[in-house]
Amino acid sequence: MKFTLSWLKRHLATEASLKEIGEALTSLGLEVDGIEDRAKGLEPFTVGYVIQAEQHPNADRLRVCIVDTGKEQVQVVCGAPNARTGMKGVFAAAGTVIPRTGALLKAGNIRGQASNGMLCSAYEMGLSDDHEGIIDLPADAPVGMPFAKVMGLDDPVIEVAITPNRADCLGIRGIARDLAAFGLGTMKPFDVTPVQGSFESPIQWKIAPGTEKGCPQVAGRLIRGIRNGQSPRWMQDWLTAVGLRPISALVDVTNFTTHDYARPLHVFDADKLACDLTMRWAKQGESLEALNGKTYTLEPSMVVIADDKAAHGIGGVMGGEHSSVTEGTTSVFIESALFTPGMVAATGRKLNLQSDARYRFERGLDPTSPIWGLEVATRIILDICGGEASELTVAGSEPSWRRSLSYRFARSRTLGGIEIAPKEQEAILRRLGFETKGGGEKIEVSPPGWRGDIEGEADIVEEVVRVNGLDKVHAVSMLGSGAMAQPSVSPAQRRPILAKRTLAARGLMEAVTFSFMPSALTELFGGVPAELKLVNPIASDLDAMRPSIIPNLLMAAKRNLDRGLGDPALFEVAPQYKDASPTGQTLAATAIRVGRAVPRNWQSPARDVDAFDAKADALAVLEALGAPIENLQVSTDAPSWYHPGQSASLRLGPNVMAWFGAVHPKVLAALDLKGPAVAMEVFVERVPLPRSKGTGRPKLELSPFQPVERDFAFVVDAAVAAETLVRAARGADKALIADARIFDRYVGDKVGPGKASLALSVTLQPKEATLTDEAIEQVSAKIVAAVQKATGATLRT
Q: Quick check: is 783 in a domain?
A: yes
Residue 160 falls inside a structural domain: yes
Q: Does 515 map to a domain?
A: yes
Domain of 738, CATH number, reads 3.30.70.380
Q: Is 766 exposed, middle or buried (0-12, 13-18, 19+ CB in 10 A)?
A: buried
Q: Are residues 719 and 782 in the same domain?
A: yes
Q: Would you place residue 652 in the very low, low, confident or very high pLDDT band (cuts 50, 70, 90)?
A: very high
* Whether pLDDT at 753 is above 80: yes
Residues 221 and 294 in one domain: yes
Give per-residue pLDDT as tens, 205-241: 999 999 999 999 999 999 999 999 999 989 998 998 8
CATH code assigned at 345? 3.50.40.10
> Which residue, among 729, 787, 720, 714, has the nearest Cα to 763 in the 3D structure?
729
DSSP type of residue 533:
B
Same domain, 181 and 88: no
Is 70 exceeded by the pLDDT of residue 488?
Answer: yes
Instruction: Give the number of domains in the chain.
Output: 6
Apex 593 CA angle, 592 and 595, nearest 5: 145
How sure is the predictor about 491, in pLDDT bands with cuts at 50, 70 and 90? confident
Which CATH number does the domain housing residue 443 bear? 3.30.56.10
Residue 585 in domain: yes
Rounded Cα distance between 757 and 8, Å, is 89
Same domain flag for 386 and 272: yes
- 386 and 247 fall within a common domain: yes
Measure the CA–CA gap between 700 and 691, rounded to whole angstroms. Answer: 18
- List, as one string, the DSSP characters of 229-269: -PPPHHHHHHHHHTT-----HHHHHHHHHHHHHS---EEEE
pLDDT in tens, 273-285: 988 999 999 999 8
Q: Please name which of 316, 300, 321 lies closest in space to residue 348, comparing C-alpha atoms.
A: 316
Q: Are strands 46-55 and 63-68 parallel, antiparallel or unpaired?
A: antiparallel
Domain-located, residue 624: yes
Whether 526 shows a pLDDT value over 80: the answer reads yes
If asked whether residues 590 and 497 sit together in one domain, one would say yes
Q: What single-letter DSSP state applies at residue 421?
A: -
Residues 593/661, Cβ–Cβ less than 8 Å: no
Please provide the size of the chain in residues: 797
- Is residue 544 within 8 A of residue 528, CB to CB? The reply is yes
Is the per-residue pLDDT at 440 higher than 90?
no
Structural domain range at position 555: 491-686
Cis peptide before 551 (omega within 30 of 0): no
For residue 695, pLDDT beyond 60: no
